[in-house]
Structure 1
Amino acid sequence: MTRTLDRIALRGLRARGRHGVLAAERELGQEFIIDVTLFLDTAPAAAGDDLTKTVHYGELAEDLVKVVEGEPVDLIETLAQRLADVCLAREPVESAEVSVHKPAAPIPLPFGDVVVTIIRSRS
């Protein structure tokens, strides 16, 4: 029987970073928007009303923002991987879906958003 995991989602987390391949992106920076969905079993936390058995999403948000505001990378794919690593570092998390939005990407045409979404699981 396949076990169904619960989900905790954090949507629309905003942080300023200096990611991109262009010099202007590194110099000026821009806003990135992060969405994460964590897949885990929340039953142990719910059974004992115990925060230590789930993910503290406030602390997670702070750690994700540190990554976005931290060391610049060329690709948002790389940024997404670093964010996924932060999510998977939390013990009850079995897998994570991470989307990085770059709404101010340097595209010389009208567009709504650029998004890279990855799904990663514990090895």
Structure 2
Amino acid sequence: MSGPAVPPDVIEIRGIRGFGRHGVFDHERAEGQEFVVDVRLELDTRKAAASDDLADTVNYGVVAEQVHAAIENDPVDLIETLAERIATICLADPRVTGTAVTIHKPSAPITVPFDDVVLTVQRKPGETP
């Protein structure tokens, strides 16, 4: 009999900014805009804590670079598609047991005053297309 499940540890990277050309309107593709992404990585960090070795954990600097590249390259129509792409990046390391990806689109083409458009997706390994 095993003991209770250990809740995952969490690494969060907040506010990854990039200039992208995502959107359904021609002007969004032509002019582009800033997107801001937060990622949450669930994993067990005990091995890394014991070894004090970067090889035993997720290198969040590399993840941030990959997320930034996803923001700035290969435009898509929907932020839902971009979020799935980033979730796949986050789950590429088999130590990551879950992720949450939040995309902020503060310059979305909305005709009324607003602060931000935000989409958050939560995924586990095997749940991305």
Which TM class, normalised by the smaller chain length? over 0.9
- The ranges of structure 1 where at least 4 consecutive aligned residues each deviate by more than 2 angstroms after the TM superposition are none
1:94 to 88, 97, 102: 97
TM-score normalised to structure 1 length: 0.97
Q: Does 1:36 align with 2:39?
A: yes
Pairing of 1:1-123 with structure 2 (within 5 A): 1-123=4-126
Please state whether the residue corresponding to 1:2 is helix, strand or coil.
coil
- Whole-Å Cα distance in 1 between the matches of residues 69 and 93 of structure 2? 16
How far off its partner does 1:112 sit? 0.5
In structure 1, the gaps of 5 or more residues are none
Instruction: Output the amino acid matched with 1:49.
Output: D
- Whole-Å Cα distance in 2 between the matches of residues 122 and 104 of structure 1? 31
* Count of residue pairs the alignment pairs up: 123
- Whole-Å Cα distance in 1 between the matches of residues 53 and 97 of structure 2? 18
Quote the RMSD (CA, aligned, Å): 0.7
How far off its partner does 1:3 sit? 2.1
Percent identity over paired residues: 52
Q: Provide, for residues 35-70 of structure 1, a one-character-per-residue CA deviation record: whole Å limited to 9, x for no partner.
A: 001000000111100111111111111110111111
TM-score normalised to structure 2 length: 0.93
Larger radius of gyration: 2
In structure 2, the gaps of 5 or more residues are none
Please state whether the residue corresponding to 1:31 is helix, strand or coil.
strand
Structure 1 contact 80–100 (Cα < 8 Å) conserved: yes
